[in-house]
Amino acid sequence: MKTPDIGLKSNTKTTMVGLCNARLADAIDLSLDIKQAHWNLKGPTFIAVHELLDMLRAHLDTNADTVAERVAQLDGVAMGTVQAVGEASALSPYPTDIHKVADHVGALVERFAALSKSVREAIDTRPGGRRRRHRRHLHRLLARPRQGPLVPQKPPRMRP
């Protein structure tokens, strides 16, 4: 099945696939970091933070899924295996020797900030005056548009 033309040049698609896969690796890495913290929290505020981490991970996984789907829609391959993520993630390794809630929260805040920074840099540092165009393409790819060629079509409704 041929991928529908979405109005991007081949080299732009390749660049967008690379940028999206790099951020996908970071998002998956951060999602696993959240789970590591979730499993190892200790302290009086354990349950509240435990539940917050569940919510954060669900939100992050939804966004990572959107990025991976956009890669596929660009006719790329979403690189989400543990091996690919381990090689591509720009996040620092999560400390495995911490247990206090405050230590986990601090470690996660650092990683969320690093992911946020890498997304901004991917959008803002395109050389040769292409920054605005790449920003527009990334926003178009990663936003959840209501209509257009990047939105998967709903399957037909089946009658019983």
CATH number of the domain bearing residue 131: 1.20.1260.10
Q: Would you say residue 152 lies in a domain? A: no
Yes or no: say if 148 and 157 are a contact pair by the CB < 8 Å rule: no
Q: How confident is the model at residue 138 (pLDDT cuts 50, 70, 90)?
A: low
Give the total number of structural domains in the chain.
1
CA distances from 89 to 21, 25, 52, 113, 147 (A): 10, 5, 24, 14, 32
In a domain, 160, yes or no: no
Give the pair of three-digit tokens for residue 155.
């399957």
154 belongs to a structural domain: no
Does a structural domain hold residue 2? Answer: no
Q: How far is CA 46 from CA 35, 53, 82, 93, 131, in A?
A: 14, 10, 28, 23, 43
- The rounded percent of the chain whose pLDDT value lies above 90 is 55
Amino acid letter, 53: L
Specify the range with the lowest mean pLDDT, choosing from 6-10, 20-24, 69-73: 6-10
29 in a structural domain: yes
- Please indicate, yes or no, if residue 110 is contained in any of the structural domains: yes
Q: Which residue has the tokens 């527009």?
A: 136
Q: How many CB atoms lie within 10 A of CB 111?
A: 20
More confident position, 95 or 11: 95
Does the residue 130 lie in any domain? Answer: yes
What residue type is assigned to position 149 of the chain? P
Least confident of 20-24, 84-88, 107-111, 143-147: 143-147
**Bridge partner residues of 100 (DSSP):** 42
Interhelix angle for 131-142 vs 10-40, to 10°? 60
Tell me, rounded to whole angstroms, the distance of Cα 128 from its chain centroid: 26
Structural domain including 132 reads 10-142
Distance CA 77, CA 128 (A): 27
Higher pLDDT, 115 or 123: 115
Longest pairwise C-alpha distance within the chain? 56
Looking at residue 151, its amino acid is: V
pLDDT of 43 > 50? The answer is yes
Confidence class for position 150, pLDDT limits 50, 70, 90: very low
Lowest-confidence segment of 30-34, 77-81, 137-141, 155-159 by average pLDDT: 155-159
Q: Place 2 in a pLDDT band, splitting at 50, 70 and 90.
A: low
Task: Answer whether residue 33 is part of any domain.
Answer: yes
